[in-house]
Amino acid sequence: MREPHTVVDPSLPDSVTIYEVGPRDGLQNEKAIIPVETKHQFIERLVDAGLPIIEATSFVHPKWVPQLADAADLMARLGEAGRNMPVLVPNERGLDRALELGCRHVAIFGSATETFAQRNLNRSLDEQFAMFEPTVKRAREHGLDVRAYVSMCFGDPWEGNVPIDQVVDVGKRLYELGASQLSLGDTIGVGTTGHVTALLDAFNAAGLADGVLAMHFHDTYGQALANAHTALQHGVTTFDASAGGLGGCPYAESATGNLATEDLVWMLHGLGIDTGVDLEKLVATSVWMADQLGRPSPSRVVQALA
Ligand code: HMG
Ligand code: MG
């Protein structure tokens, strides 16, 4: 299979961590309910392709996200390996379900805007913290690692532009509940490179260094890879991506696919940056998954290599 011609940029890091969200952010937005056996196989193939972190599923209300209602069944099938895969938990009920199955990594997901907090969490912007605070506290008491997401960092479908100060306030509050990492989500994929730099500068000024930040781009406007490169140059070394560009969010209008893992890997390997990912196996996985879903992957790299 064709590989990119590697030209090292000495100003960039030697390695980057890819945080794979396809099984969660990808499949949560599929209209069809994917059989749990297929999800299990998808995750095993991602492991085999070398993805170091794979977010497996969500312990959210099954009525809110029926696509992931099989979370407990999936985790049981994944066994010991699954316990190291992060899962989303919005509240203490979700945490209880994750604890019962021995999960060691959970992620809370806050909103930078009032409207999305209401639509995604059934809480106001302020009320979301009252839901997350005891969840993170108990997770930490049980020795779990907690990631915090903040959504709508670059724009909101109902509110339009989102002030950078507001994003930093919410993100810092979520992080300070006891998270080890804060993932900044461009949920609807509207961000551009200058905005990425300004947001990262603002987080750095508020005391959150690039080392505790991850970037979570969606590719709605085709900006995800450019935005990732800008964040990489800034100093971020963890990037969320989804195999084959699957994904979206059922509660965010126009949140189409995530940055495709293959597109990110092609760029990083071209820059001589190690990811641990076997691109050939990953592309084969996305081609197989596209077959299961009955439509082609939107990833340009998958299309080019398949
Ligand atoms: P609610 O209706 O306000 O819940 O939903 P509640 O606390 O009032 O409880 C009502 C009932 O639900 C109770 O049952 C609870 O036990 C039950 P009852 O006593 O009436 O029989 N319940 C639960 N059951 C199972 N699991 C749970 C759970 N919690 C309560 N965890 C809630 C509030 C947060 C639960 C709901 O709004 C919800 O599940 N939201 C999830 C939405 C979601 O998953 N969105 C997608 C993920 S976010 C995303 O994709 C963005 C991201 O990718 C980053 C980016 O792109 O920006 C992360
Ligand atoms: Mg997302």
Whether 148 shows a pLDDT value over 70: the answer reads yes
Q: Which ligand is nearest to the CA of 153?
A: 1
Give DSSP secondary structure letters for 7-60: ---TTS-SB-EEEE-IIIIIGGG-SSPPPHHHHHHHHHHHHHTT-SEE--EE-S
Q: Whose alpha carbon is nearest atom 36 of ligand 1? A: 121
Whether this prediction's pTM lies above 0.95 is answered by: yes
Name every protein residue with a CB atom under 6 angstroms from any ligand 1 atom: 25, 28, 58-61, 64-65, 90-91, 93-94, 97, 109, 120-122, 149, 151, 185, 187, 216, 249, 251
Q: What is the pLDDT of residues 264-277, one digit of tens each?
A: 999 999 999 999 99
Whether 255 shows a pLDDT value over 70: the answer reads no
Whether 195 shows a pLDDT value over 90: the answer reads yes
- 8 A C-beta contact, residue 259 and residue 239: yes
Please compute the mean of the pLDDT values over residues 222-243 and round it to a whole number: 98
Tally of CB atoms within 10 A around 165: 10
Nearest to 224 by CA among 297, 154, 273, 290: 154
Please compute the mean of the pLDDT values over residues 122-149 and round it to a whole number: 98
Q: What is the length of the chain?
A: 306
Expressed in angstroms and rounded, the spacing between residue 246 Cα and the centre of ligand 2 is 10
Which two three-digit tokens encode residue 124?
A: 């106001």
Expressed in angstroms and rounded, the spacing between residue 7 Cα and the centre of ligand 2 is 31
Q: Whose alpha carbon is nearest atom 35 of ligand 1? A: 61
The pairing of beta strand 238-241 with beta strand 181-186: unpaired
**Residue 206 pLDDT class (50, 70, 90 cuts):** very high
What is the residue-averaged pLDDT of the chain? 96
3-state secondary structure of 267: helix
User: CA-to-CA distance for 67 and 45, rounded, in angstroms?
Assistant: 20
Counting from 1 in the atom list of ligand 1, the atom nearest the Cα of 183 is 54
Question: Which of 19, 60, 249 gets mutated to test ligand 1 (max ligand atoms within 8 A of its CB)?
Answer: 60
Please compute the mean of the pLDDT values over residues 230-253 and round it to a whole number: 90
Q: Report the amino acid identity of residue 15.
A: S
Nearest to 86 by CA among 165, 16, 21: 21
Q: Whose alpha carbon is nearest atom 28 of ligand 1? A: 61
Which residues are designated catalytic? 249
Counting from 1 in the atom list of ligand 1, the atom nearest the Cα of 123 is 3
User: CA-to-CA distance for 90 and 98, rounded, in angstroms?
Assistant: 11
Expressed in angstroms and rounded, the spacing between residue 53 Cα and the centre of ligand 2 is 16
Q: Whose alpha carbon is nearest atom 49 of ligand 1? A: 249
Counting from 1 in the atom list of ligand 1, the atom nearest the Cα of 258 is 56
Q: Which ligand is nearest to the CA of 65?
A: 1
Please compute the mean of the pLDDT values over residues 166-190 and round it to a whole number: 98
Q: Which ligand is nearest to the CA of 249?
A: 1
pLDDT of residue 254: 61
Whether 158 shows a pLDDT value over 70: the answer reads yes
Q: Whose alpha carbon is nearest atom 25 of ligand 1? A: 61
